[in-house]
Amino acid sequence: MYVVVTGGGGFLGSHLCDALLHRGDRVLCVDDFSTADPENTAHLRGHPGFTFVRADVTAAFDVPGPLDAVAHLASPASPPDYHRRPLETLAVGSRGTENALRLAVRHRARFVLASTSEVYGDPVVHPQREDYWGNVNPVGPRSVYDEAKRFAEALSMAYRRSLAANVGILRIFNTYGPRMRPHDGRVVSTFIRQALDGEPLTIYGDGSQTRSFCYVDDLVRGIIAMIDSDLSGPFNLGNPSERTVRELAELVRETTGSASGLEFRPLPVDDPARRRPVISRAQHELDWFPQVTIEEGLRNTVGWFRSRRGRSSAGRTARESVGC
């Protein structure tokens, strides 16, 4: 297959590029490096199946075909990134998604949208199934991301209904693993960095809010299963094993052997209290189920963070908070 991966220079996108190349596909990665660490794809330069195009997908773009699939992952994804780039986040969710959809339609290619559990907002239904419509504050600070993704879903479905585009939607829940940026403000990367630096682990609220954490290799298998299908979804992809943020902090302290303490701060606005996907739809229709335990995933991730210590602090952002 020949697959375009927008946002292919980022955390998930670079692992997706690796996995597609590994099974023999050709990959064209489009990224503007706005939140990417160039190191993520440095090992792919020179790979005969890999092409990199530095471009902003909010500007119309085309690539030589024939293409088989477009996986649209380009978007700021962590709260500090989308708070820092609110207009760009809305633009990539709207114009960027339409450009990626047009590219797929022009080439009669499969289109897969990387949407998010954030479309459920601060859910009043728990755990979250795909037929839950969510509880999103449309004017709150997180709305630039949540509503951009909700619009991207609506646009994708309109292309499917009106233009018979072969569109599929994935709602991705918190995913972690090697290549997360130490300063991206996500809870797993923040805790690991703080533990390794001997700093207190920052907990927002009392730490009783829950998240479910999926290891990146599991998630990428799910994206590839969706690329290979012609199902519309939406499908939740995530690990249904739910942990409190405080439990996660304890696990990170154990895995790193750190003596760091815990520091409690006020909860950010609209921070969801609970998050856990129901994944039976993806399980039945995509034959997908996460296999990596949090203990094993954290060991791999901590190992990678250790191996990178002292190297670049790419992606450092002004404000850090617990999130996505």
Ligand X SMILES: NC(=O)c1ccc[n+]([C@@H]2O[C@H](COP(=O)([O-])OP(=O)(O)OC[C@H]3O[C@@H](n4cnc5c(N)ncnc54)[C@H](O)[C@@H]3O)[C@@H](O)[C@H]2O)c1
Active site positions, annotated = 145
Chain-centroid distance, C-alpha 146:
13
Pick 13 or 297: Cβ nearer ligand X = 13
**273 near 212, Cβ under 8 Å?**
no
Taking the complex as a whole, the smallest distance from the CB of residue 97 to ligand X amounts, in Å, to: 10
- Six-digit token string for 25: 């596909």
Other residues' Cβ atoms within 10 Å of the Cβ of residue 142: 22
- Six-digit token string for 31: 């990224």
Contact with ligand X (CB under 6 A) among 2, 11, 111, 215: 11
Residues 146-185 close enough to bind ligand X by CB under 6 A: 172, 174-175
Round the CA-based radius of gyration of the chain to a whole number and report it: 18
34 binds ligand X (CB under 6 A): yes
CB under 8 Å to 228, separation ≥6 — which residues? Answer: none
58 binds ligand X (CB under 6 A): yes
Contact with ligand X (CB under 6 A) among 3, 4, 12, 165: 12
16 binds ligand X (CB under 6 A): no
Taking the complex as a whole, the smallest distance from the CB of residue 56 to ligand X amounts, in Å, to: 4
Pick 44 or 260: Cβ nearer ligand X = 44
Residue nearest to ligand X (CB): 10
**Which range binds ligand X by CB under 6 A, 20-28, 33-41, 227-235, 306-314?**
33-41
Q: Judge if the upstream peptide bond of residue 178 is cis by omega within 30 degrees of 0.
A: no
**Which range binds ligand X by CB under 6 A, 11-19, 160-168, 265-273, 299-307?**
11-19
Pick 34 or 200: Cβ nearer ligand X = 34
Q: Judge if the upstream peptide bond of residue 182 is cis by omega within 30 degrees of 0.
A: no
Other residues' Cβ atoms within 10 Å of the Cβ of residue 54: 12
Contact with ligand X (CB under 6 A) among 3, 18, 35, 292: 35
What is the rounded distance in angstroms from the CA atom of residue 156 to the CA atom of residue 152? Answer: 6
31 binds ligand X (CB under 6 A): yes
Residues 269-308 close enough to bind ligand X by CB under 6 A: none
Binding mask 72-111 for ligand X (x = CB under 6 A): -xxxxx---x----------x---x---------------
Pick 31 or 147: Cβ nearer ligand X = 31
Provide the residue count of the chain: 324
Other residues' Cβ atoms within 10 Å of the Cβ of residue 299: 13
What letter represents residue 195's amino acid?
A: A
Contact with ligand X (CB under 6 A) among 2, 3, 9, 320: 9
Where do we find the tokens 């490096």? Answer: 33
Contact with ligand X (CB under 6 A) among 1, 26, 33, 134: 33
What is the rounded distance in angstroms from the CA atom of residue 28 to the CA atom of residue 71? Answer: 10
What is the rounded distance in angstroms from the CA atom of residue 16 to the CA atom of residue 5? Answer: 8
CA distances for 261 relative to 30, 188, 252, 267, 319, angstroms: 41, 16, 12, 18, 21
Q: Which of these, 234, 226, 245, lies nearest to 277 by C-alpha position?
A: 234
Taking the complex as a whole, the smallest distance from the CB of residue 42 to ligand X amounts, in Å, to: 13
202 binds ligand X (CB under 6 A): no
44 binds ligand X (CB under 6 A): no
Burial class (CB in 10 A: 0-12, 13-18, 19+), 170: buried
116 binds ligand X (CB under 6 A): yes
Taking the complex as a whole, the smallest distance from the CB of residue 232 to ligand X amounts, in Å, to: 18
Pick 67 or 114: Cβ nearer ligand X = 114
Binding residues vs ligand X (CB under 6 A)? 6-7, 9-13, 30-36, 56-58, 73-77, 81, 92, 96, 114, 116, 172, 174-175, 324
